[in-house]
Amino acid sequence: MTAAEKANPAGGNADLWIYDIARQSASRLTGSSASDLHPLWSADGRTILFSSKRDSAYRLFTKRVDGADPERPFGAALGEAIAEDWSRDGRYLSATIPRRGLWVFPLEGGGKPWLVSSDPAPNTFQSEFSPDGRFLAYMSREAGHPEVFVEPLPATSERWQVSTRGGGEPHWRPDGKELYYLSTDGWLMSIDTSAAGWQNDRPVPLFRVTLPDVDGYSDYGVSPDGQSFVLNLFLSDPVTQPLDVVVNWRPPAGK
């Protein structure tokens, strides 16, 4: 199953929907008067964590996928926040705090949250935890243009810029063997993460993509083995034969 935002055509409000790919069915998960955004799955697949702008501020909520319980506020102590990613082991949450940057919140052990990037420009940093929970990848425009960075977890003084000439929307291969991102010149790039010191390796272009920019929240997805990709591409109108219109036409005499 997968979760996605779907705008209501009547008012433009976004709700969350659950799509059962195997059964080819869809069901609405949320239906509040505020837009519900950025759905994130819990590790056990039973709960969705999402952001919703209520009382003029973004707050975090959870709701069971089976709809058995009403939605519940999540992490009230976090204050205003827009969730970006939830680590597979449930230990960390990355979130954007408007006007304050990207933060990581430890969810166990009483650890203190830490600031990852204070760049106030983007609405999302596109952050994503590695499958093993050892790294956080994200996009930042602190140098005036988008680049992809990686930091270890828990935080140290280390940080690596893994994109070379602009990039955004980093996604880890589900088995953790590769890190992908979109370059600003229209390529899907790959970094092999299986060797030591991979953070300093040169990324390899895989194939060209047609996307308007690298600021999307989730413009592509990757299969568990890294051999297939799903891309959210704009499909142009089908090409049709031109239609000629003749005006002031008169039939030949005698016709």
> Does residue 199 sit within a domain?
no
Q: Which two three-digit tokens encode residue 132? A: 């093993």
Q: Which residues span the domain enclosing 93?
A: 2-140+147-169
Number of domains in the chain: 1
Q: pTM for the complete prediction?
A: 0.81
Which tens digit of pLDDT belongs to each residue from 179-234?
Answer: 999 998 889 999 999 988 999 999 999 998 877 677 766 777 888 888 888 777 65
Q: Taking Cα atoms as reference points, which of 98, 87, 91 lies closest to residue 121?
A: 98
Calpha distance 214→235 (Å, rounded): 18
Q: Which CATH number goes with the domain that contains 157? A: 2.120.10.30
* pLDDT in the model for residue 122: 57
Tokens of 247: 């005006």
pLDDT category at 127 given cuts 50, 70, 90 is very high
Q: Is 233 among the domain residues?
A: no
Count of H helices and E strands in the chain?
0, 21
